[in-house]
Chains A and B, each alone.
Chain A
Amino acid sequence: ILNVEQSPQSLHVQEGDSTNFTCSFPSSNFYALHWYRWETAKSPEALFVMTLNGDEKKKGRISATLNTKEGYSYLYIKGSQPEDSATYLCAFLYNTDKLIFGTGTRLQVFP
Protein backbone atom coordinates (compact mmCIF):
# COMPACT_ATOMS: atom_id res chain seq x y z
CA ILE A 1 0.00 0.00 0.00
CA LEU A 2 1.43 3.37 -1.02
CA ASN A 3 1.58 5.86 1.80
CA VAL A 4 2.31 9.57 1.91
CA GLU A 5 3.08 10.82 5.41
CA GLN A 6 3.05 14.44 6.46
CA SER A 7 4.36 15.82 9.70
CA PRO A 8 3.51 17.45 11.92
CA GLN A 9 -0.26 17.02 11.71
CA SER A 10 -0.75 20.53 13.03
CA LEU A 11 1.38 23.51 13.91
CA HIS A 12 0.73 26.77 15.74
CA VAL A 13 3.22 29.60 15.25
CA GLN A 14 3.44 33.31 15.97
CA GLU A 15 3.35 35.88 13.21
CA GLY A 16 6.89 36.42 11.94
CA ASP A 17 8.13 32.94 12.82
CA SER A 18 9.58 30.76 10.09
CA THR A 19 8.36 27.20 9.90
CA ASN A 20 8.76 24.02 7.92
CA PHE A 21 7.00 20.71 7.47
CA THR A 22 7.81 17.36 5.94
CA CYS A 23 6.28 15.10 3.33
CA SER A 24 7.55 11.50 3.10
CA PHE A 25 6.76 9.31 0.12
CA PRO A 26 7.91 6.05 -1.52
CA SER A 27 11.36 6.52 -3.04
CA SER A 28 10.78 4.07 -5.89
CA ASN A 29 8.84 4.76 -9.10
CA PHE A 30 8.95 8.50 -8.52
CA TYR A 31 7.29 10.72 -11.14
CA ALA A 32 6.43 13.97 -9.37
CA LEU A 33 5.57 15.54 -6.02
CA HIS A 34 2.84 18.17 -5.69
CA TRP A 35 2.26 20.70 -2.90
CA TYR A 36 -1.14 22.36 -2.39
CA ARG A 37 -2.44 24.96 0.05
CA TRP A 38 -6.02 24.53 1.26
CA GLU A 39 -7.66 27.37 3.16
CA THR A 40 -10.86 26.68 5.06
CA ALA A 41 -14.00 27.00 2.89
CA LYS A 42 -11.91 27.43 -0.25
CA SER A 43 -10.50 25.06 -2.87
CA PRO A 44 -7.00 23.55 -2.74
CA GLU A 45 -4.53 25.77 -4.58
CA ALA A 46 -1.42 24.42 -6.30
CA LEU A 47 1.88 25.68 -4.90
CA PHE A 48 4.52 23.54 -6.59
CA VAL A 49 4.99 20.55 -8.85
CA MET A 50 8.47 19.08 -8.38
CA THR A 51 9.97 16.43 -10.61
CA LEU A 52 13.76 16.34 -10.22
CA ASN A 53 15.89 15.19 -7.31
CA GLY A 54 17.41 18.25 -5.68
CA ASP A 55 14.69 20.55 -7.04
CA GLU A 56 14.13 23.73 -5.09
CA LYS A 57 11.14 25.91 -5.85
CA LYS A 58 10.08 29.26 -4.44
CA LYS A 59 6.89 31.31 -4.48
CA GLY A 60 7.13 34.49 -2.41
CA ARG A 61 7.88 33.48 1.19
CA ILE A 62 7.17 29.80 0.53
CA SER A 63 9.79 27.41 -0.77
CA ALA A 64 10.14 23.65 -1.16
CA THR A 65 12.93 21.14 -1.61
CA LEU A 66 12.85 17.61 -2.95
CA ASN A 67 14.93 14.49 -2.24
CA THR A 68 13.65 11.62 -4.37
CA LYS A 69 16.40 9.18 -3.34
CA GLU A 70 15.37 9.22 0.31
CA GLY A 71 11.71 10.03 -0.36
CA TYR A 72 11.04 13.37 1.31
CA SER A 73 10.18 16.96 0.56
CA TYR A 74 10.28 19.97 2.88
CA LEU A 75 8.03 23.01 2.66
CA TYR A 76 9.35 26.20 4.27
CA ILE A 77 7.47 29.37 5.11
CA LYS A 78 9.61 32.38 5.99
CA GLY A 79 8.14 35.05 8.28
CA SER A 80 4.69 33.44 8.66
CA GLN A 81 1.66 35.71 8.36
CA PRO A 82 -1.91 35.06 9.56
CA GLU A 83 -3.00 34.68 5.92
CA ASP A 84 -0.66 31.67 5.66
CA SER A 85 -3.02 29.77 7.96
CA ALA A 86 -4.21 26.79 5.94
CA THR A 87 -3.75 23.05 5.49
CA TYR A 88 -0.74 22.20 3.36
CA LEU A 89 -1.10 19.01 1.34
CA CYS A 90 1.52 17.06 -0.49
CA ALA A 91 0.74 14.43 -3.13
CA PHE A 92 2.95 11.77 -4.68
CA LEU A 93 2.41 10.98 -8.33
CA TYR A 94 2.04 7.25 -8.73
CA ASN A 95 1.78 5.52 -12.09
CA THR A 96 2.18 8.78 -14.06
CA ASP A 97 -1.40 9.98 -13.58
CA LYS A 98 -2.60 9.09 -10.08
CA LEU A 99 -1.95 11.43 -7.15
CA ILE A 100 -1.72 9.90 -3.67
CA PHE A 101 -2.35 12.62 -1.07
CA GLY A 102 -1.13 12.91 2.49
CA THR A 103 -3.49 14.01 5.27
CA GLY A 104 -1.87 17.44 5.39
CA THR A 105 -0.25 19.75 7.92
CA ARG A 106 -2.67 22.24 9.43
CA LEU A 107 -0.88 25.55 10.07
CA GLN A 108 -2.30 28.27 12.28
CA VAL A 109 -0.44 31.60 12.49
CA PHE A 110 -1.36 33.83 15.43
CA PRO A 111 -0.96 37.62 15.19
Chain B
Amino acid sequence: ETGVTQTPRHLVMGMTNKKSLKCEQHLGHNAMYWYKQSAKKPLELMFVYSLEERVENNSVPSRFSPECPNSSHLFLHLHTLQPEDSALYLCASSQDRTGNQPQHFGDGTRLSIL
Protein backbone atom coordinates (compact mmCIF):
# COMPACT_ATOMS: atom_id res chain seq x y z
CA GLU B 1 0.00 0.00 0.00
CA THR B 2 1.82 3.08 -1.22
CA GLY B 3 -0.86 5.61 -0.37
CA VAL B 4 -1.05 6.69 -4.03
CA THR B 5 -3.67 4.91 -6.13
CA GLN B 6 -3.91 5.13 -9.90
CA THR B 7 -6.73 3.94 -12.13
CA PRO B 8 -7.02 2.30 -14.52
CA ARG B 9 -3.92 0.06 -14.43
CA HIS B 10 -4.17 -0.59 -18.16
CA LEU B 11 -5.83 1.41 -20.92
CA VAL B 12 -6.08 0.76 -24.64
CA MET B 13 -7.55 3.53 -26.74
CA GLY B 14 -7.82 4.68 -30.31
CA MET B 15 -6.34 7.94 -31.52
CA THR B 16 -9.73 9.64 -31.64
CA ASN B 17 -10.90 8.58 -28.17
CA LYS B 18 -11.06 10.73 -25.05
CA LYS B 19 -10.17 9.14 -21.73
CA SER B 20 -8.91 10.19 -18.32
CA LEU B 21 -6.33 8.81 -15.92
CA LYS B 22 -7.02 9.21 -12.23
CA CYS B 23 -4.68 9.53 -9.28
CA GLU B 24 -5.61 9.70 -5.61
CA GLN B 25 -3.41 10.18 -2.55
CA HIS B 26 -4.38 9.99 1.11
CA LEU B 27 -1.01 10.99 2.55
CA GLY B 28 -1.91 14.62 3.22
CA HIS B 29 0.62 15.76 0.64
CA ASN B 30 0.48 19.18 -1.00
CA ALA B 31 2.29 18.46 -4.26
CA MET B 32 1.33 16.03 -7.02
CA TYR B 33 3.09 15.04 -10.24
CA TRP B 34 2.51 13.29 -13.55
CA TYR B 35 5.42 11.41 -15.12
CA LYS B 36 5.74 9.53 -18.39
CA GLN B 37 8.01 6.57 -18.97
CA SER B 38 8.53 5.43 -22.53
CA ALA B 39 10.43 2.24 -23.34
CA LYS B 40 14.17 2.50 -22.58
CA LYS B 41 13.87 6.16 -21.54
CA PRO B 42 14.10 7.72 -18.09
CA LEU B 43 11.06 8.90 -16.17
CA GLU B 44 10.07 12.26 -17.62
CA LEU B 45 8.25 14.91 -15.62
CA MET B 46 5.07 16.18 -17.30
CA PHE B 47 3.22 18.33 -14.77
CA VAL B 48 3.61 19.55 -11.19
CA TYR B 49 0.76 20.75 -9.00
CA SER B 50 1.28 22.45 -5.67
CA LEU B 51 -1.71 23.25 -3.47
CA GLU B 52 -3.95 22.54 -6.47
CA GLU B 53 -2.16 25.07 -8.69
CA ARG B 54 -0.20 23.98 -11.73
CA VAL B 55 3.39 25.14 -11.25
CA GLU B 56 5.14 23.24 -14.02
CA ASN B 57 4.20 22.21 -17.52
CA ASN B 58 7.24 20.52 -18.97
CA SER B 59 6.52 21.35 -22.63
CA VAL B 60 3.80 18.74 -22.81
CA PRO B 61 1.53 18.73 -25.91
CA SER B 62 -1.96 20.10 -25.37
CA ARG B 63 -3.51 16.70 -26.10
CA PHE B 64 -2.60 15.99 -22.45
CA SER B 65 -4.66 18.11 -20.08
CA PRO B 66 -4.16 17.84 -16.31
CA GLU B 67 -6.71 18.71 -13.66
CA CYS B 68 -6.31 18.96 -9.89
CA PRO B 69 -9.73 19.55 -8.27
CA ASN B 70 -8.36 19.21 -4.72
CA SER B 71 -5.12 18.28 -3.00
CA SER B 72 -5.98 14.55 -2.96
CA HIS B 73 -6.93 14.06 -6.60
CA LEU B 74 -5.15 14.50 -9.89
CA PHE B 75 -6.43 13.69 -13.37
CA LEU B 76 -4.81 13.49 -16.76
CA HIS B 77 -7.32 13.99 -19.57
CA LEU B 78 -6.30 12.48 -22.88
CA HIS B 79 -7.62 13.29 -26.36
CA THR B 80 -6.48 12.64 -29.91
CA LEU B 81 -3.33 10.88 -28.74
CA GLN B 82 -0.63 9.58 -31.06
CA PRO B 83 0.97 6.10 -31.12
CA GLU B 84 4.16 7.57 -29.61
CA ASP B 85 2.14 8.47 -26.51
CA SER B 86 1.98 4.77 -25.61
CA ALA B 87 3.88 4.59 -22.33
CA LEU B 88 3.60 4.04 -18.58
CA TYR B 89 2.11 7.09 -16.84
CA LEU B 90 3.03 7.46 -13.18
CA CYS B 91 1.50 9.75 -10.60
CA ALA B 92 3.44 10.82 -7.51
CA SER B 93 2.94 13.03 -4.50
CA SER B 94 5.21 14.67 -1.94
CA GLN B 95 4.80 16.67 1.24
CA ASP B 96 5.67 19.85 -0.62
CA ARG B 97 7.31 20.82 -3.90
CA THR B 98 10.68 21.85 -2.49
CA GLY B 99 12.26 18.62 -3.67
CA ASN B 100 13.82 17.83 -0.31
CA GLN B 101 11.04 15.36 0.43
CA PRO B 102 10.80 11.92 -1.19
CA GLN B 103 8.10 11.36 -3.78
CA HIS B 104 5.54 8.58 -3.31
CA PHE B 105 4.51 6.91 -6.54
CA GLY B 106 1.45 5.02 -7.69
CA ASP B 107 1.65 1.78 -9.65
CA GLY B 108 1.06 3.59 -12.93
CA THR B 109 -1.29 3.29 -15.90
CA ARG B 110 0.03 1.36 -18.90
CA LEU B 111 -1.41 3.20 -21.91
CA SER B 112 -1.51 1.76 -25.42
CA ILE B 113 -2.63 3.84 -28.38
CA LEU B 114 -3.90 1.90 -31.37
Seen from chain A, the residues whose Cβ lies within 8 Å of a Cβ on chain B are: 4, 31-32, 34, 36, 41-46, 49, 51, 89, 91, 93, 96-104
Contacts and interface: CB of A to CB of B under 8 A. Distances in A.
A17 to B, nearest CB: 27
A31 to B, nearest CB: 6
B42 A101 contact: yes
A103 B98 CA distance: 23
B42 A98 contact: no
A32 B41 contact: no
Contact of B56 (A41, A93, A98): A98
Interface of B: 2, 4, 31, 40-45, 48, 50, 55-56, 58, 90, 97-108
A14 B53 CA distance: 48
Nearest to A6: B42
Contact of B103 (A4, A99, A100): A99
Contacts of B104: 46
22 contacts: A32-B99, A41-B107, A43-B2, A43-B90, A43-B105, A43-B107, A44-B90, A46-B103, A49-B100, A89-B42, A96-B98, A97-B55, A97-B56, A97-B97, A97-B99, A98-B48, A98-B56, A99-B45, A99-B103, A100-B45, A102-B42, A103-B40
Contacts of A43: 2, 4, 90, 105-108
Contacts of A32: 99-100
A96 B1 CA distance: 28
Contacts, number: 66
Nearest to B96: A97
Q: Is the interface of B mostly helix, strand, loop or mixed?
A: loop
Nearest to A92: B99
Contacts of A96: 97-99
A31 B104 CA distance: 19
A93 B99 contact: yes
A51 B48 CA distance: 21
A36 B43 CA distance: 12
